[in-house]
Structure formats: C-alpha cells, structure tokens
A and B are shown apart, each in its own frame.
Chain A
Amino acid sequence: MAKINLNVNGKKYEVDIDPDTPVLWVLRDHLDLVGTKFGCGMAQCGACTVLLGDDAVRSCVLPVSNVQDKQITTIEGLSAEGDHPVQKAWLEHDVAQCGYCQAGQIMSAVGLLRKSPKPGEEEIAAAMHGNICRCGTYLRIRAAVMTAANS
C-alpha cells in the first residue's frame, strides 16, 4: 500500500492503494469514475482509454504509481453536458450502438485531435485502430472525428 496523489479531471485525490493497481481500477473502483471502461485488461481493445497530459493511453496497463501528479482526463472530464466538440460530433452522427466502447473511442479521438487538429482519413483510421467496436460503428466514428476536426 502507498499513498498516491492523483490529478483527475482537474481535481486532486489522494488514494491509499497497491501502487501496481492500474489507473483503470483506481478510476472505476476508488474514484467512482466509471465512464472509463474495462474491455480486455491488456491494452488490446481501447475501452479504457484516458488522456495522460495530451496523450491517449490505455489505463488498464498503467500502474497508478506512474501517474503521480500527472494530469489525467477521463470521459467525465471532457464535459458533463456533452458539449466538447468531439462529444458533439458523436451526437450529431448518432455513432453509438451499445455504447460500451464509445468512451474509449472518444478519448482516442480527442488525443488524436490534440496532436493533429486536421487529420486525414488514413491518419484517423490509424489513430483509431486500437479501439475495438464490436457493434461495428467504425464508419460513423470516422465521420464524427472528421466533423470534430472541422468544427
């Protein structure tokens, strides 16, 4: 057990926890931020994507001890009302089917747009390739990222 300081969505937290615990489970079980999803636990599906600084990372393999004091943004931190441009684009294209993968998809898209505000189709596809959508909403995801980039 160790005391770890976290900065999530601009809020400070102190957790007393096994330092190997992945950020995903700290968010979900300890901070009640359950928007970030568990899909595979081995950086293969993207459901758990959050931003570390400006980088989209897989929180299921990220030990909490590695993110002391770094800025973490989760889906809840984008905007509670859904008015972040990427969220708005997702609503405009009515992307979701079951919706389970979409928080991870959105966070990957936000990470991409922070790096590359005007990505091309191929760049979008490459950046979003790590996020599985079992329902097959890939085309709408691509269209929504385009819309967000142009807004």
Chain B
Amino acid sequence: MISNIQIMTAQPNINRRKFLKVTALAGGGMMLSFNWLAGCNPTPDEVLAMPKEWFSLNSYIKIGENGIVTLMAPNPEFGTNLKTSLPMILADELDVDWKNVIVEQADFYPERFERQFTGGSQSVRMGWKILRTAGSTARKMLVNAASKKWNIPAEEIATSAGMLIHSASGKKAGYGEMASFAATLPVPDNVPFKNVKDFKIIRTSRKNVEGKNIVTGKPLFSIDHKQEGMLIAMIVHPPAFGLKVKSLDEALVKSMPGIKDVFVIKTLEDGYEHNAFDTTSFYELPVVVGNSTWEVMQAKKQLKVEWEEAQEKKVTVLGWGGNKEDVVIPAGRESTETQRKKMMAMSGKPGKELRRDGDPEKAFKNAAKVIERTYTAPYLAHNTMEPVNCFAHVTADKAELYGPIQAPEFIMKTLVARLGLPKEKIHISLARMGGGFGLRAYGHHFVEAAVISQKLNAPVKLVYTREDDMTYGIYRPTYTATYRAGLDKDNNLIAFHVRGGGIPEHPVEPNRFPAGAVDNYLAEGWEIKSNITIGAFRAPRSNFIAGAEQSFLDELAELAGKDPIEFRLELLRRNKNNPVGKNNAYDPGRYAGVLELVREKSGWTKPQENVSRGVAAYFCHNTYVAQVLDMKMKDGTPVVEKVTAAVDCGIVVNPDSAANMGEGGIVDGIGNALFGEMTFDNGIPAKNNFHQYRMIRQKEAPKAIEVHFVPNDEDPTGLGEPLFPPTFAAVANALYRATGKRYYEQPFSKQINSRQPLL
C-alpha cells in the first residue's frame, strides 16, 4: 500500500562514516551551495561577526575562528520547527551558547547526513542519537585538541558554552581558537552523551530561527525563487480521474503574449518501476510555458485539450524491503455515491483477519449487551497553503532542483531514472515548505519541473494554481469502520470486534488499544481499488481510526454506565496486569498517564455549567495523547471553548514550539472533523478552491488550548501528528453531550441541525 510510511520509523544505524569531516573549506567560503538561494540577509553587525574561516568537525558542525558555530539542519522543514529543534540537540551536546549559533538548512546529501526525511513524526525521535553523537563527538575533538596543545589529560578539561577550561591551571580557550587544530584530529568513537540532567538548551524554549525572515517576508520558499532566464511553467491535468490526454490544440495559445511553448510531457516512462512515493494520478500532462505567472495562467485557461478514457494500467511498484508488487490502476470514472455503496457492501462481509484473541464469536453469543456502530469519513485534500511548485534547471550533464519535498531520497531515485543522469549529477536543495502534512512526500512536481526544464534547456519554475493542486489527487483515503462490543451482565467488556475498510486501503491498526485488554478480540480489514490517488496525510489511518474507536469507546462506556476516562483506565489496568495476546503496540502505564493528567488539568470531575465535554485519547507515532474538549452551542452552532491536552512524548526538546505544534494539530483536527471533505462526481473532484472546500478559520478555532506534557526522561518522540487523530473523537463526544446525538459520519457539520448556517 503506497501510503505506508511505517518503514521510515526503523531506527537508522548511526554510521560513523557520516561523521567524518567534509572536504576542506576555503577561507570564508560556505561549505555548501546555499548562496544560489536568496533568503539570508545579514545585517552589517552580523557581517562583521562572520568568521573569516570555518573549520568543519563533521557534516553537521563547523566552527569559525571567532567561535561562531554553524549547525546544519539536516531534515527539510515543513512547519514543525525542525530547523530550530534539531540544531538545539547538536548545540547542547556540543556545549555552545545558542546565541553564537547560525543554522543552515542542509541540501540533500545522503552521504553526509543520516536521515533527511521529514514525516511520520520521526525527525526528533530518529535524530536524537544521531545529533547527540555528532555534537558530543565534535566536543570531544575540541577537548582533545586542547589536551594536546596544553599538554593536559583530556579528562581534566571541561567545556562550558563554547569555552574549553582547565580549572587547575586556569587555562581557557574559546572553541574558535581550537577549531582549526581539532579539525585535523581523528574522529573519536563511542563518546558518551551528556547526562539529561545537564541539558542547557534542550528543554528550554527557543524561538523559530526563521522567525524574523518570516515576519519580514523574505523569500524562504521555492515558489519565491527567481533567477536569470527563468521561465514559468504550468500544467493542465485531466479534469477527472480516469481520463487522459487525447490531443492538444496549441496554436491559439502559443501566440498569446508572453507564451514560449506548449507541449505534453510524459511524467514517468512506460515500464518504469515505481517506488512508493511515485504518484500515479496522471502520466501525461499538457504544459504551458511563458515569461510570467499571470500570462501563463491566462494561456492555460484558453488551452483546448481533448481528453479520453484511460485504460486499466498495470505498474510495478518496488515496495518496502525490496518487494516488488504489481499494482493495477483501474479504468473508469468513479463517484462518491457509488463508492459509498461498494464500501457498505464490503463492510457487511468478513474482511482479512488481522488479529484474533480468544473466541470472539462465542463471547458475543454469551454477552448480556451487544452494541454495533459504523463510522465513515470522506477523502480529504491536504490543501497546504503553498501550492505545488518546483524550480528545476536541467542541462545535458547536470540537474539542479529546489522545491518542497519531505522525502528527497525517493524522488532522487525517480529523477535518476527519468532524466537519465547519475545521482551525482543531480543536486536537490531542500526548500522550506509552506506546509507538508504528508503530501510533500510525493515529489511528482520535481519530475515534472525537471522534464520541462530538460526539454526547454532552460531554468524553469513550475507552479500549480490552487485548482490544479486541489484536484490533482494524493488525497487522504476514504474509510469506514464497524465496531461491535459485548458486555457481560456486570458490564465488563468481554468481546470486541473491529472491521474496517477503505479505498484503497483499510485503516485498522489491529494491535493498538483496546487490543490486549479484551479476552475475545477480532480485527479485520478490507480494501477496494481505485484510480483516485491517495497518500500519507497527517497521521495516516490513525487520522480516521482514532476518531472512530474513541467515539465508540465513549458510547460503550455510557452503555456500561461508566465514566469514560475511568472506563479506559480500567482496560489499561487489565492490559498492565494481565495482557491478552502478543504484540500489543502500547505501554499501558504511559497511556494511563496521559488520561490521568488530562483528568487533572481539565478539572474533569468538576465540569463547568453549560459546557459539554468530550474526552478522547490515542497512541500513535510513538506518542501518547489525551484530550478534553469543552463545547458550547451558540444558535445551533458548536463553539469550542477550550481544549486541554496531555501529551507524553518523552523529553520535550523545545517546549513552546512543541505547544505550538500541539495547538496546530488540535485546530486541524477540529477543522477536518467539522468541515473536511472531498467528493467526486464522474471522476471529477467536486471542489477545486477554498470557496468550495471549507477550511477551519479564525472564528471557528477554539478560544483556548492548553497542552500539558508528562514530565519524564524518556527519549523524545514526535509531535507533528499525534495530537491530530484523537481530536476527531473529542469533537464527536462533546457534540454528543451538546446535542444529544451521536456523530458517525464526517464531516460532522453536515450532520448538525444548525439553526443558522455554520458561520
């Protein structure tokens, strides 16, 4: 299944080779090729403070002779603030003063950096040991340098905020003074990490290193890029899934002002072996190229294209672990209504068994009470605020690309195959992304821009309109799940069954809670193929199944006559004391910890009057979250007064930034639960811009959000996704208390009998 990004969560080997020093640096020169990107605008003071010479201690760290330190942010930034948090980890182990640090975004250099993938909430978790190793190793090289220069045993030399200190003799030196010598020393092995109690930068709030550039409108995004001779390109993709280009009438458009060329490109060649992030939306695209964006937009509107039905297509996809899979892209034009009927038919039949404990059939027969509920959710469009774009300059012997991409490693493979250039000749610069949410793991725009540039032999910036972007596919899949539970006469949960499916993947996570806490358990999944393309969307699968499961548990607790938090805690105790089955994918203690913390922080036992509260919890992407959402109805419209969240993600690297991420996930969850929806009519996406696709806006955002972190010293896990999935259920459960009605179908705004149109 092409959206499965679980593979990216395997802990990488920390490969010492990558800590070796980068090639010698010329005086004052930048180590990497950033200068061709605008975006850095140093003030006169900063220019004076720039060192004359840099000494590279490893791929991540270089130190100037005056003590200024440059730290590389290896992963592409899409808004989770990695560009600040990852270098903070380096800086703490290196033991430098944060104010003397310059952060640079690394280009894609897999031979220098361990992991340049952003997604799956893994960057901090997977970067933790890598960056601590890079920082502590560089620090040790500086200590060794001082030890040799001063002729003092290394063990007697301490460091503090960029200084090397030998207290017995009173000797002191700045890192800058030792850097040139340190850079010539061998890279030491197995350098111990700092004790977490000694962190000085990690666990303190540091502002976004790009903050000032953002508020002053600096060109930070690839859509802002410009260079001599650059042309603007736009695509015209088929209006419906199931269609392809038949012919083009380019004559009229070619003569329009500012237009340079009109042609059709093939994105991926026939017989090409796909990888998991190659998009199969459309294989041929008409392209209009011209001098300026507006001129190309105008021409694109006039372009006459004849479309025809696409045939069924078979492609080979090289999946995870090197397994090849033949995937069929069906022909035909699909509609939401017919898809829905197919899904309902499938959900009535047994699916593929994913997990079985005990004897669920017998237990359901013996149950005193049985409850069954079905939940559904539509496709969702990512709608990153920055539309798809990419800069490419491809010549006969090399290619330069600069664009928004979460998974550069994968698109590099595609580019090598499509352009016929070796990877050493293809250079990818990682742009700050105007949002990613999983969508930018798919780099079709890199291929499109590169193919256009190669054909024209000119630098090109490809830009999508919002309409192109919203109707191109790679949606969050549409899902359904049916839950069934059996209680005995004492209201103990004795049987649990989930059967989930979707187009084209099922959302069931069979080993997650409440698996392991119920004696008789069955999980099944089924899938229906489609030519409507899908992709990872903030917390794939969890973003549906959490809402369904946690809404169901709320209703189940009510049926059992139990407090919804206590009901969950009871199941978690059961798992802790006497777990059922194997492979239970959660730690019941940490799970209970967030429920207990949210109970305390939300004042759960003393609710305010006139406020309807919903609780939900979920564990995904290695992080535990519980939320209480307070709602009021105003003229029949839900108003979210407050959301209180408790989160266990281990050590919190950058607390205020972590809270910001939590707030964003919650707002996104409320928005998609209430409004998010893409539908199809005869293969045509029914919404193409924000006048039709409703996004959460300022007035609909909660009045307050509190994000509380469980204090512990566990290694950190991620935050980009985990706050998002449980929010759907917190909304549904609060809506139930506010309206007396349960909500099974997303988006919920369609189900609310508002006396007033929703805002």
Q: CA–CA, A137 to B295, complex, Å?
A: 34
* Contact across chains for B698 and A32 when beta carbons are under 8 A apart: no
Which residues of B sit under 8 angstroms from A30, Cβ to Cβ? 292
Over the window 83-109 of chain A, the binary record of Cβ atoms lying under 8 Å from chain B Cβ atoms (1 yes, 0 no) is 000010011001011111111001000
Over the window 647-676 of chain B, the binary record of Cβ atoms lying under 8 Å from chain A Cβ atoms (1 yes, 0 no) is 000000000110011011111100100000
Given A37-B386, A38-B223, A40-B689, A98 and B433 contact (CB-CB distance below 8 Å) = yes
Over the window 5-20 of chain B, the binary record of Cβ atoms lying under 8 Å from chain A Cβ atoms (1 yes, 0 no) is 0000000000000000
Contact of A87 among B216, B221, B232, B698 (CB under 8 A): B216
Contact of B385 among A28, A124, A134 (CB under 8 A): A134
Interface residues of B: mostly helix, strand, loop or mixed? loop
Whether a CB of chain B sits under 8 angstroms from the CB of A21 is: yes
Q: CA–CA, A29 to B667, complex, Å?
A: 34
How near does chain A come to B199, taking the closest CB pair, in angstroms?
A: 20
* Contact across chains for B666 and A136 when beta carbons are under 8 A apart: yes
How many chain A residues touch B (CB < 8 A): the figure is 62
Q: CA–CA, A129 to B208, complex, Å?
A: 25
Given A18-B295, A135-B664, A98 and B432 contact (CB-CB distance below 8 Å) = yes
Q: CA–CA, A30 to B226, complex, Å?
A: 11
Which residues of A sit under 8 angstroms from B664, Cβ to Cβ? 97, 135-137
Which residues of B sit under 8 angstroms from A121, Cβ to Cβ? 703
Which residues of B sit under 8 angstroms from A36, Cβ to Cβ? 217
- Smallest Cβ-Cβ distance to A26: which chain B residue: B294
How many chain B residues touch A (CB < 8 A): the figure is 69
* Contact across chains for B257 and A18 when beta carbons are under 8 A apart: yes
How near does chain A come to B534, taking the closest CB pair, in angstroms?
A: 19
Contact of B207 among A28, A47, A76, A94 (CB under 8 A): A94
- Smallest Cβ-Cβ distance to B292: which chain A residue: A29
How near does chain B come to A31, taking the closest CB pair, in angstroms?
A: 11
How near does chain B come to A57, taking the closest CB pair, in angstroms?
A: 16
* Contact across chains for A139 and B705 when beta carbons are under 8 A apart: yes
* Contact across chains for A22 and B217 when beta carbons are under 8 A apart: no
* Contact across chains for A98 and B215 when beta carbons are under 8 A apart: no
Which residues of A sit under 8 angstroms from B282, Cβ to Cβ? none
* Contact across chains for A99 and B704 when beta carbons are under 8 A apart: no
Which residues of B sit under 8 angstroms from A102, Cβ to Cβ? 214-215
Q: CA–CA, A127 to B292, complex, Å?
A: 32
Sample (10) of A-B pairs whose CB atoms are under 8 Å apart: A25-B293, A37-B385, A40-B689, A76-B217, A87-B216, A99-B79, A102-B214, A106-B215, A128-B698, A136-B667
Over the window 115-151 of chain A, the binary record of Cβ atoms lying under 8 Å from chain B Cβ atoms (1 yes, 0 no) is 0000001001110111111111111111000000000
Q: CA–CA, A121 to B698, complex, Å?
A: 11
* Contact across chains for A100 and B698 when beta carbons are under 8 A apart: no
* Contact across chains for A137 and B660 when beta carbons are under 8 A apart: yes
Question: Sorted from nearest, which 9 A-B pairs have the closest CB atoms?
Answer: A35-B217, A100-B434, A136-B667, A98-B79, A75-B217, A138-B701, A44-B690, A97-B79, A136-B664
Over the window 269-280 of chain B, the binary record of Cβ atoms lying under 8 Å from chain A Cβ atoms (1 yes, 0 no) is 000000000000
How near does chain A come to B501, taking the closest CB pair, in angstroms?
A: 28
* Contact across chains for A94 and B657 when beta carbons are under 8 A apart: yes
Over the window 623-655 of chain B, the binary record of Cβ atoms lying under 8 Å from chain A Cβ atoms (1 yes, 0 no) is 000000000000000000000000000000000
Which residues of B sit under 8 angstroms from A22, Cβ to Cβ? 294
Over the window 293-317 of chain B, the binary record of Cβ atoms lying under 8 Å from chain A Cβ atoms (1 yes, 0 no) is 1110100000000000000000000
- Smallest Cβ-Cβ distance to B219: which chain A residue: A34
Which residues of A sit under 8 angstroms from B583, Cβ to Cβ? none
